[in-house]
Structure 1
Amino acid sequence: MPQLQRLDVHHAPALLRFERENRAYFARTVPDRGDDYFREFTARHAALLAEQATGRCQFHVLVDDDDTVLGRFNLVDVADGSAELGYRVAERATGRGVAQDGVRQVCELARDEYGLRRLVASAALANPASLAVLRRTGFVPAGEVLLSDQPGLRHVRDLTAPV
């Protein structure tokens, strides 16, 4: 059964493999990270861990029984009881409820472990699966946004309210 884990140094090889294997898939709905991301992955991973140590961000990976990364679930800009949620799931894991389960788990962590009361998440209109995940996990539309020049919807979830 997949397990949500806080990002750690030992996740680097599996996370890089996840990003490489799913690069084309992710690029269909979000801007491509570019070649520099992959060339500089080790330094970028270390920088994420350093940022996480400050408490401004909380990064997570959803790991399968064989230590394969199935998804990333990140809380960024943590401040004043609020954070922004971002996530991506491997193409091979889509359609199985993996994104929905991961979002639910990170919402529980945000509330119970990090003391957050509110999460914000945005998804492109061209990504109906992500919009559906947000709705099914208690996020409420809160307005239109531009995501890399593409129309999207911003959502908010009150972590103190029952879902």
Structure 2
Amino acid sequence: MPTLELLRPDHTDALLAFELTNRAYFARTVPDRGDAYFAEFPARIAALLSEQAAGVCRFHVVLDADGALIGRVNLMDLVDGSAELGYRVAESAAGRGVAGAAVAQVCRLAAHGYGLGSLTAATTLDNPASRAVLTRTGFTVTGQFLLDGRPALSYRRSLADLRRAEAE
């Protein structure tokens, strides 16, 4: 099972390598971040860490059993007991249940550690793997829209069942 760690400054180099190694793979299903994203990566991570310190977001890296960075799972815009979920997994780890396990872990962490009551997410219709991860981890479709010009679905997951389980 993969391990989640809250993003720290010492993850910067491994996270950059992860993003660069998987850039073409990610671009098949999500818009490419562009060269400037990578050129300014240390500054971007510093900004993310500032947001995390302010309690606005929670950024996590996903590590395999050997400690290699194989993904990331983020909770953005923590407001009024809710946050938006985003995640990506390395091509080398795809199809092995890593995304589902990481999303399930962050859902538990959101409910128990961060005190959130719900999460939202979105994915394009042409990303069946992401749609399956969201469905398997308890998200339900709430609407359809265009995401960067592509048909997409919005999702929501109540965390009430996870919070109830803690109380029992």
Normalising by the smaller structure, the TM-score range is: over 0.9
Structure 1 residue 91 displacement after superposition:
0.4
Q: After the TM superposition, which residues 4-153 of structure 1 pair with which residues of structure 2 at under 5 Å, given as runs? A: 4-153=4-153
Counterpart Cα distance in 2 of 1:11 and 1:54: 19
**Contact 2:18 2:70 survives alignment (8 Å):** yes
> How far apart are the structure 1 equivalents of 2:65 and 2:140?
33
Q: Distance in 2 between matches of 1:39 and 1:65?
A: 30
Cα shift readout 1:87-140 (whole Å, capped 9, x = no counterpart): 000000011000000000000010000000000000100100000000000000
Where structure 1 has 5 or more consecutive residues not aligned to the other structure, the ranges are none
* Whole-angstrom distance in 2 between the partners of 1:102 and 1:65: 13
- Count of residue correspondences: 163
Quick one: which amino acid aligns to residue 145 of structure 1? F
1:64 Cα deviation from its structure 2 partner: 1.8
- Paired residue type of 2:3: Q
How far off is 1:149 after superposition? 1.0
Specify the code of the residue in structure 2 equivalent to 1:78: L
Q: Which runs of 5+ in 2 are unaligned?
A: none
Residue by residue over 1:25-80, the C-alpha shift from the partner in whole angstroms, topping out at 9 and shown as x without a partner, is 00000000100011000100111000110111000010123332111100001010
Q: Is the 8 A contact 1:14 1:67 kept in 2?
A: no
Q: Which amino acid aligns with 1:38?
A: F
* Code of the aligned partner of 2:130: S
Q: TM-score, with normalisation over the residues of structure 1?
A: 0.97
Aligned-residue offset at 1:85: 0.2
| Contact kept in structure 2, 1:124 and 1:147, CA below 8 Å | yes
Aligned partners of 2:9 and 2:119: how far apart in 1? 26
Question: C-alpha separation between the residues in 1 aligned to 2:147 and 2:69?
Answer: 25
Instruction: Give the alignment's Cα RMSD to 1 decimal.
Output: 1.2
- Deviation of residue 145 (structure 1)? 1.9
For 2:120 and 2:18, the matched residues in 1 are separated by 25
